[in-house]
Amino acid sequence: MSSQDENDQDFLAMAAIWDSMNAGLKPTAFERYEGSRFQWIMARGSSEKGKIGEELVSGWARANGFVVSNSGDRGVDRIINGHNIEIKFSTLWRDQPEYWFQQVRDQDYDYCFCLGASPFEIHAWLIPKAVLLKNIIGHKGQHGGGGAKETALLKVRIGAEPDWMKPYGDRLSDVKRLFEQAGTGSRVFTGKKKSRSR
């Protein structure tokens, strides 16, 4: 099959229409990450992105001298410095300058590590579960409308995060400081996998 003749009037007319339509569209999430070192993540499915987030956090924590191990609890992603950590990862949501940290639940973690990857910036928060219970879990239902209680959705607009989140991060350096302040917790991996639903 030969390539379209660039001198073909029908082709040129269609291309002009395409260009005018495309000019008014906001870039897709994938296009926004063009040239970013995180672009490859955008082609992955949501469950794979979640696993990538867990590996990114684990690698970062080890690089900063924190002790990291897997958890035997399906409701906890990692044990970092003796604290049960749930990890939520998000890239920018569609054409908005915001992260959507999804499926936030009341499970057996001490802190939720929220990691957001913009095309050229990383944002991070280490939020105690008690703070999520007060502000998100049971208040911001993800499924079935605002009254849903099982899962919650944490939306964070870059540069306009809610006041209650501000003490818990923004940059990875903030999260490092919070881990250091928390000291060593008492959680240990027992080697037994619990059968909690996620």
b/e for 77-92, b at 16 or more Cβ within 10 A?
A: bbbbbbbbbbbbbbbb
Number of domains observed in the structure of the chain: 1
Residue 96 lies in a domain: yes
Distance between CA 100 and CA 115 in Å, rounded?
10
Q: Is 147 exposed, middle or buried (0-12, 13-18, 19+ CB in 10 A)?
A: exposed
The CATH number of the domain holding residue 102 is: 3.40.1350.10
- Reading the block at residue 94, the tokens are 């569609």
63 lies in which domain range? 46-182
Residue 97 lies in a domain: yes
pLDDT tens for the chain, 198 residues long, are 345 566 677 777 777 777 776 566 566 667 788 888 888 898 888 889 999 999 999 999 999 999 999 987 778 999 999 999 999 999 998 778 899 999 999 999 999 999 999 999 999 999 999 999 999 998 765 555 545 567 899 999 999 999 999 999 999 999 999 999 999 999 887 665 544 443
| pTM of the predicted model as reported, rounded to 2 decimal places | 0.79
φ/ψ of 9, rounded to 5, equals -65, -35
